[in-house]
């Protein structure tokens, strides 16, 4: 099922599969900013990562005395989310624990996605409610893919990833297994921007930690057009695309990380975004502005 919310600036299409933003069109120039989900390249648009981000050791988690299989980034991105409410500029969807989730994650929960438009900004809030009788540990993150170039008058190298502050990004190393290694590496020092080119993602994603910047955006050089994400509340921010000249770029604010290489599969021993007592809830928001 697809839903549309809009205002004078933006028209947003959201699909119930994964509660993903499928389309963002800026009305003033009809530019489509969201990756089209071409399955031959990357089948997603803007997936939610829950109940964990990235990979687990051996793709397994041990909880409540049993071992469960869990695929990359968890299951929320691959499930239908149910309709809750809609107005002209707001949509609410939910994913609740059910037999399909309990065979992979033995906790009762409710995951609520609230999409709200404010001028040229889309706010996507995620709320996790613990409906279980035990404490709920979880990880969570965003993985939106933005199309580059913005139109056929430009190419990918006409764009850069621009920080709001001068940065010397330190990155966690997750190669070659996708699990967090003991070492780290640095991107160029004292930078305000990273050029988007065929070298940037030659070795996969970059997981940046402890950034000072409040925002990170994809900017079209010389025009002022941009997609700008507010990353201030997130401890980890990844950038990713497929190797080669990018057709899209993901800016991924996360509240948790993949498991550590050689780490435990015990769910309670994995670092979490939050640990909720029964009846508690926790929320975060990714705000993205589509700037002209």
Q: pTM for the complete prediction?
A: 0.97
By CB atoms closer than 10 A (0-12, 13-18, 19+), residue 148 is buried
The residues that bridge with 260 in the sheet, in sequence order, are: 180
CATH architecture entry for 2-291: Distorted Sandwich (2.70)
What are φ and ψ of residue 150, in 5° steps? Answer: -75, -25
> pLDDT tens-digit profile of 20-78?
999 999 999 999 999 999 999 999 999 999 999 999 999 999 999 999 999 999 999 99
Interval 142-181: pLDDT, tens: 999 999 999 999 999 999 999 999 999 999 999 999 999 9
Residue boundaries of the structural domains of the chain: 2-291
Look at residue 54 in the predicted model and tell me its pLDDT: 97
Beta-bridge mates of residue 207: 172, 238
pLDDT number for residue 211: 98
């Amino acid at each position: 099922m697809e839903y549309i919310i809009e205002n004078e600036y933006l028209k947003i299409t959201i699909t119930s599969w994964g509660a993903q933003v499928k389309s963002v069109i800026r009305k003033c120039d009809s530019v489509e900013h969201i990756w089209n989900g071409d399955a031959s390249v990357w089948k997603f648009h803007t997936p939610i990562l829950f109940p964990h981000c990235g990979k687990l050791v051996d793709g397994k988690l041990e909880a409540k005395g049993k071992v469960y299989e869990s695929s990359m980034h968890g299951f929320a991105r691959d499930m239908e989310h149910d309709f809750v409410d809609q107005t002209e500029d707001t949509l609410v969807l939910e994913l609740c624990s059910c037999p399909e989730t309990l065979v992979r994650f033995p906790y009762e929960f409710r995951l609520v996605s609230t999409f709200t438009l404010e001028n040229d900004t889309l706010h996507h809030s995620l709320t996790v409610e613990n409906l279980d009788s035990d404490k709920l540990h979880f990880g969570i993150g965003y993985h939106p893919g933005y199309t580059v170039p913005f139109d056929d008058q430009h190419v990918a190298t006409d764009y850069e990833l621009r920080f709001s502050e001068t940065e010397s990004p330190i990155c966690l190393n997750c190669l070659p297994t996708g699990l967090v290694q003991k070492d780290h590496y640095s991107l160029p020092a004292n930078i305000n921007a990273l050029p988007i080119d065929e070298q940037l993602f030659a070795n996969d994603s970059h997981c940046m930690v402890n950034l000072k910047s409040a925002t990170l955006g994809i900017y079209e050089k010389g025009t002022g057009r941009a997609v700008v994400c507010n990353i201030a509340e997130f401890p980890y921010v990844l950038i990713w695309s497929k190797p080669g000249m990018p057709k899209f770029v993901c800016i991924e604010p996360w509240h948790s990380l993949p498991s550590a290489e050689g780490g435990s599969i015990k769910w309670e021993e994995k670092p979490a975004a939050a640990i909720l007592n029964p009846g508690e809830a926790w929320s975060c928001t990714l705000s993205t502005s589509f700037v002209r």
